[in-house]
Amino acid sequence: MSAVPDWDALGFGFLPTDWMYRAQGDAARDPAWDAGHFVPFGDVSLSPAAAVLSYGCGCFEGLKAQRGVDGRVRIFRPDAHGARFARSAERLALPPFPVDRFVAMAAGLARRNDAWVPPAGKGSLYLRPMMHGTEPLLGARRPRLAGVIAYASPVGNAPGLDQGLRLKVMASARAALGGTGGAKAMGNYAGVLLHKEAAVREGFDDLLYLDGSGRLQLGEASGANLFCVLDDGTLATPPLDDTILPGITRDSALRLARDVLGLPVQQRPLSLVEVRARAREVFCTGTGWTVRPVAMLGGDGWECRLGPPKVATQLGEALADIRSGAGADPFGWTVDVAGVADGEDQ
C-alpha cells in the first residue's frame, strides 16, 4: 500500500488507491454480467477498435463513501446511483448492470480501500464506476461486449458555502433535446470543457446552460443541477427532460426541502428573465459540490448578483449530517459498508 496523503491538504483530484473492481458483460448471455472481482489497482487494456473509443459507448457514476465520527463508513444513496447507472447504460445501448450488484461493488470497493477513507470531517472516498463498450467494432452498432471498472480516490471537502459561484450564462444547451443529457454519458462532459475554460479566463467559475429553445429557460450547470429560491419562498428547479441529468443530490434536496424544511417546491420551467427579477438565492447541487450557492450570474455585458445563502445552508448542513451519520437519516439514504456482502467476502 502507498502512503496515505496529508488529509488536511486534500483537494478534488485523482489519487490512486489499492483496489479496483472489474466485471465483464456479454449481452448474448443470461445473466449478461459475470461474477466480477476486485483486483489491485492498475492499468487496463482495450482493443483499439473498442466501441467506447470510436463511438462513445460509455457511461459512468460518481458517489462518495464517508467516515463518520463513530468510525463507520457510509455510502450515500448507492441504490439510486446504481439505478441511474443502469438507465445510462440502456441509453448508451449497453447491458445494464444490476442495482444490487452495483451496491455490493461500491461497498466492497470502499471496504478494501478503508485506509484511504479520510478521517471524519476531512473529506470522502470518491467512487468512480464506469461502463465501456469493449467489443471491437468498425461500424456503429450496439456493442455486445461491455466492461465495468470502478476505482476509488480520496478527495477533500467541497468549498464552504460562503464561497459563492460565478456562473456565465450560455445561450446554448448543454445537451440536445432527444440526446443523451439525461444519461451520465462520457461525451456530455467533453463538450463543455472548451467553453468552461474560456469562462474561467473571464473570471467565472462555471457555466449555466439554457435549454436551447430560444425562450431563455434555464437548464443546468456544466456538471450540476440548479435551484432558485423565489421571492415568495418557493424553491424551484427546472423539470427533468433528456437535456438535464437527474441528479441524486437534486432529488435529495427536493425531498429534504419539501418534507423536512416544509418549503413549497416546484419543478417547472424557469426563464432567465424570471430568475433575474425574482430570485432571492440560487444554488447548485451535485455529488462533488453537494450544495454550492451562486453569488452571480453573468453574460456579455450584464451581471445579476444574488442574495446570501439561507436555504442552501440549511440543505447543505442537513445533507452533511445525513452523509456523516451525525444526524438522523429519515429516508434511509445511507448504507454502512460493513453490512453489505460483495460476494468475495470471507
CATH number of this structure's domain 165-324, picked from the four choices 3.40.1710.10, 3.40.50.1100, 3.20.10.10, 3.40.50.720: 3.20.10.10
Q: Show me where the domains of the chain are located.
A: 7-157, 165-324
* DSSP states of 157-193: PPPPTTS-EEEEEESS-SS-TTSSTTTTBHHHHHTTH
The whole-angstrom separation of Cα 110 and Cα 20 is 10
Return the CATH class of domain 7-157. alpha beta
The model carries a pTM of 0.95
Would you state the pLDDT for residue 179?
A: 86
**76-85, 167-176, 221-230, 327-336: least confident range:** 167-176
Please choose, from the candidates 285, 272, 279, the residue with its C-alpha nearest in 3D space to the C-alpha of residue 246: 285
Whether the pLDDT of residue 158 is over 80: the answer is: no
Would you state the pLDDT for residue 215?
A: 72
The whole-angstrom separation of Cα 332 and Cα 330 is 6
Cβ neighbours of 16 (radius 10 Å) = 12
Q: What is the pLDDT of residues 69-85, one digit of tens each?
A: 999 999 999 999 999 99
Q: Estimate to the nearest angstrom the gap between the alpha carbon of 129 and the chain centroid.
A: 11
Would you state the pLDDT for residue 216?
A: 84
Give how far Cα 297 sits from Cα of 124, 152, 233, 273, Å. Answer: 30, 34, 20, 12
* DSSP states of 105-140: HHHHHHHHTGGGSPPTTS-EEEEEEEEEE-SB-SS-
The pLDDT > 70 percentage for the chain reads 97
Q: What is the pLDDT of residues 238-263, one digit of tens each?
A: 999 888 999 999 999 999 999 999 99
CA triple 50-52-58, angle to 5 deg: 145
Whether the pLDDT of residue 180 is over 70: the answer is: yes
Helix (H) or strand (E) holding 91: helix 78-91
CA triple 200-126-156, angle to 5 deg: 60
Q: What is the pLDDT of residues 259-289, one digit of tens each?
A: 999 999 999 999 999 999 999 999 999 998 8
pLDDT confidence tier of residue 115, bands split at 50, 70 and 90: very high
Positions marked catalytic = 184
Alpha helices (runs of H) in 191-326, residue ranges in sequence order: 193-201, 248-259, 272-278, 311-324
Output Rg (C-alpha) for the chain, integer angstroms. Answer: 20
The whole-angstrom separation of Cα 196 and Cα 205 is 8
The pLDDT > 90 percentage for the chain reads 79
Whether the pLDDT of residue 65 is over 80: the answer is: yes
pLDDT confidence tier of residue 346, bands split at 50, 70 and 90: very low
Report the 3 state secondary structure along 47-88.
CCCEHHHHHCCEEECCEEEEECCCCCEEEECHHHHHHHHHHH
Mean pLDDT computed over every residue of the chain: 93
Residue 146's DSSP bridge partners are 25, 133
